Chains A and B, each alone.
Chain A
Amino acid sequence: MTTQLSPALAAGAASPVDSIETKRPKGRGRTFRPRNVWTRVALNSIAAIVIACSVFPVYWMVNMSFTPPQKIISREPAFFPVEFTWKNYVTAWTREAAPGQTDFVHGLGASIGVALAVVVVCALFAFLASIALARFAFKGRWVFIISVLIVQMVPGEAMMYTTFNMLDSWQLVNTLFGLFLVHLASVVPFTIWTLRGFVAGVPADLEEAAQIDGCTKAQAFWKVTFPLLAPGLVSTGIFAFIQSWNEFTMALLLLQGYNLTLPPWLNSFQSATEATNWGAVMAGSTLIALPVVIFFLFVQGRMVGGLVSGAVKG
């Protein structure tokens, strides 16, 4: 359920693109730029190959999405969208995935609805829990922390049918609310864990100082601590959104007909056997990938850190 990005995301150091440069302490990890011209040429060529390999599939998707269908079904693929067209997007946007199944627009609505609900509720739940963990000393704190770590690792795939039956007994199969519950439970542990780090990172002394200056405890929290937590809430929120947006297994199992979210929509759309319209499938894929790519660029600075912050220090 939780796919490739999970615990890595959110919270923490190291932007792969820029902030590493500015933040690195002096004398550590300076890049070793080889002086020999030929070595540099060789390294740059390898870099160029790496760039080409990483970008090509994404480029191919976009390229195909702008190529007219009759040109896609061709023995000599067009490497550039010479006969540029928006038609695939129109098709993807309006046509049902398969007869009796949802179209893109409704899938989009369902996906956004579920993901936003997950983001809001998850942020609230995890925020409360992380305050309890970071600001209070109480019996059972340890037990809860370890439970969160363990729960985070429970594979949802293993018990998909148990979950299915449970939701079925509550009449929640084939409802977006059921899917929302599943997604929520899968992102909350990680979000608690990450936010706890953020809350702990804001020194309680700051709040006390505000209280000495005449704030009430609640005011001190809302005016001092909360604004400092905003970046943490944003990046965990984006993480939760991406998780829910990409989640495929349970959406495939739980949803049918006109209730599909985008991943099962794309799955039906691509496997509609007779004459799959590949241009439209690629247009659909592009549209699904777009928000995630944008979000990734937003939080890229915080993406690696979560994991690294624990492992690298010292």
Chain B
Amino acid sequence: MTATLPSATATSGSTKADRPGRRGGRRFPWAPWLLLTPSVVLLAVMVGYPTIKMIVTSFTDEAIRNKMLGTAPNFVGFDNYLEIFTQSDFPAVLARSIALMVILTALITAGGMLLALLMRRLSKGWRTAVSISLLLAWAMPPLAATVVFGWMFDTKYGVANYILNVLTRSNDWTDHQWLYNPFSFFMVLILIVTWQGIPFAAFTFYAGLGQVPDEVLEASQLDGAGGFQRFRFIVMPYLSSVVTAVLVLETIWNLRIFTQVYALQQRGGLVSETNVLPTYIFRQGMGEFGVTAAIGVIMLILLMALSYFNVRRTLKEEAL
């Protein structure tokens, strides 16, 4: 398979080949910078500049009228930050976002681990079937997946209500409104995101489990370790770096969730009760850019703090 070569080399590459020698550097000392120029310019303009601009804007009262009239905004210090924390529903949105992130990350990591353990114990045929079905869920574009789930939980014609009616042998679920109630809105949302998120965690853990040596497991079994003990004291230490990696990435991704929340809100959720950070920013609209920027800065700080662990972990593992 074509996948084998780069994977093998990419894994072991960091030891020798990754430390570039002096070659090429002597005759053309500017060559690396020439090669980097397109990317540096692009990222400076499209990421660096907006980041700085947003931070600056967050300390001003810039609004749509400044754009219309062409006047310069005034510097207002921390007023925007004070305003969002004291006079808006931003604290609630922030709390909701973080709670959602914690729940999703926990569910996806735990579910992924259970599935990976299950896949290890299946015969080849079953495992392939499970893998392909997980791949299908993973591959669905998030918007398409949300549209489908939205329809499955439709009030009138949703298959969810139909199945629940059949299972409970009642008509209790006829016209049950899933999305109108914020609590069940989030249940549906969590279902969608977990459904799509578990495959990645499961595949990653599955690959990680392959690294646990058999002898150690057998030895511990002979010493009388039970299933849970073996998992906790033998498997987990081998897996800890993979688990950390998945946890960090899931935390970041789940805090940035936009598509699923927005599309479900379109299907009949109460926007004010179901906003998370990205949809909240989106729905600020073209009014007060200063306030919106302040919200953006808070989200940026939050994600940067989480990313710190990711950056440190990556650098350590790549042993550059």
A103 to B47, CA, bound (A): 32
CB distance from B155 to the nearest CB of A (A): 12
A162 to B45, CA, bound (A): 12
Q: Which of A5-60 contact B (CB under 8 A)?
A: 5-8, 11-24, 27-34, 43-44, 46-47, 50-51, 53-55, 57-58, 60
Flag if B209 contacts A29 (CB, 8 Å).
yes
Flag if A136 contacts B39 (CB, 8 Å).
no
Q: Which of B133-153 contact A (CB under 8 A)?
A: 133-145, 147-152
Flag if A166 contacts B50 (CB, 8 Å).
yes
Name A157's contact: one of B133, B147, B286, B299 (CB within 8 Å): B299
Flag if A34 contacts B303 (CB, 8 Å).
no
Q: How many interface residues does chain B have, given as a range?
A: 35 or more
Chain B window 43-55, contacts with chain A (Cβ cutoff 8 Å), 1 for yes, 0 for no = 1001111110110
| Interface assignment of A224: CB less than 8 Å from any CB of chain B | no
Q: Which of A81-89, A90-98, A282-290 contacts B (4 or more CB under 8 A)?
A: A282-290
Instruction: Please indicate the chain B residues that have their CB under 8 angstroms from the CB of A126 in the complex.
Output: 39
Chain A window 247-288, contacts with chain B (Cβ cutoff 8 Å), 1 for yes, 0 for no = 011001100000000010011001100000010011001101
A308 to B3, CA, bound (A): 14
A6 to B246, CA, bound (A): 12
Q: Which of A124, A295, A300 has the most CB of B within 10 A?
A: A300
Q: How many interface residues does chain A have, given as a range?
A: 35 or more
Flag if B147 contacts A281 (CB, 8 Å).
yes
A-B contact count (CB 8 A): 438
**Given A50-B118, A302-B3, 19 new contacts (CB under 8 A):** A5-B138, A6-B253, A14-B7, A28-B211, A32-B217, A55-B136, A57-B148, A133-B32, A135-B20, A141-B32, A159-B296, A162-B50, A166-B50, A248-B262, A249-B282, A285-B141, A307-B246, A308-B207, A311-B317
For the complex of A and B, the 10 pairs showing the least CB-CB separation, nearest first, are: A201-B9, A185-B46, A29-B210, A153-B307, A301-B3, A296-B139, A132-B35, A132-B32, A14-B207, A310-B317
Interface set of A (CB-CB < 8 Å, partner B): 1-8, 11-24, 27-34, 43-44, 46-47, 50-51, 53-55, 57-58, 60-61, 64, 72-77, 124-126, 128-129, 131-138, 140-142, 144-151, 153-155, 157-163, 165-166, 181-182, 184-185, 188-189, 192, 197-198, 200-204, 208, 228, 231-232, 245-246, 248-249, 252-253, 263, 266-267, 270-271, 278, 281-282, 285-286, 288-289, 292-293, 295-297, 300-305, 307-313
